[in-house]
Structure 1
């Protein structure tokens, strides 16, 4: 383990990042199952929740913008937007910059729904590691962000 603050050589870094991937997969699957269980009472899917979340955090946007923000296909996002619209959680509005690509925004019901979901999830996340520092979380975000950026080209293949 290199705690000196100096960058790891590429092979050592690759081994350490593999440890991160080994944790991220199970973490994601467990979190998704937990989210699904919490959403079942609201009658929402994880995909609709993702659309609501990206709109809550990023504001009104197009389906392609949401797909890029979540690194998922435009077609999947469109299906989730259609499901959310059927539940009156989102609505399409004209896009002055592009006639064929409407903007999607939260309805009042959608905003209330996602705010309630995020509040419940926040209560659960308060129980995570009381000894974690802001620096720990900042470092985690930096590492995961770098790993994600390194994989951006994978979707282009």
Structure 2
């Protein structure tokens, strides 16, 4: 098979990827508007969420890994969050230089406020979409993520 000819599945996945790019940009803009009254951006909110979701305090590198993000970008945002009193750094007993990132009470309240804005809006977005379709889309996204995470050159045939 000619490597330059896209299969029907490749065409469908290309359409999906292009839609994902567009939807990602729309979600970020939507999130920015949603949490702007709290002094947050989507990126800051996402990092607060990663801290909340972690089972224990983590260093920036681990947060970045969990988010699939660049460590330097996460560090910059965490530093901004610390300057605003939403997170603080604590000593890491396992690593002298990689401090642990912990939410402050103010950071937890800000995150909780963001979620109180989010919940009714996400419910409204979900309205009219079949639950099984949402779950199927989630399964496809997770499968794609695993493929990309498992191979930096996902799909390379060279």
* Both proteins in one fold, TM over 0.5: yes
Q: TM-score range by the shorter chain?
A: 0.7 to 0.9
- Offset of 1:110 from its aligned partner? 0.6
Q: Which runs of 5 or more structure 1 residues have no equivalent in the other structure?
A: 1-9
- Offset of 1:79 from its aligned partner? 0.6
TM-score by length of 1: 0.83
* 1:146 matched to 2:109: no
Equivalent position of 2:24 in the other structure = 28
- Offset of 1:41 from its aligned partner? 1.7
CA distance in 2, matches of 1:34, 1:131: 19
CA distance in 2, matches of 1:56, 1:105: 9
* 1:77 matched to 2:77: no
Equivalent position of 1:47 in the other structure = 43
Match runs of 1:108-147 below 5 Å: 108-147=105-144
- Offset of 1:93 from its aligned partner? 1.2
CA distance in 1, matches of 2:67, 2:97: 21
Let me know the Cα RMSD of the aligned residues.
2.1
TM-score by length of 2: 0.82
- Offset of 1:47 from its aligned partner? 2.3
Range with greater deviation from structure 2 (127-136 or 98-107):
127-136
Aligned residues: 147
Say if 2:35 and 2:117, in contact at 8 Å, map to a contact too.
no
Give the 3 Å change call, closer, same or farther, for CA 24–48 of structure 1 in structure 2.
Answer: same
The Cα offsets for residues 125-151 of structure 1, whole Å up to 9 and x where unpaired, read as 111243434432222111101112222
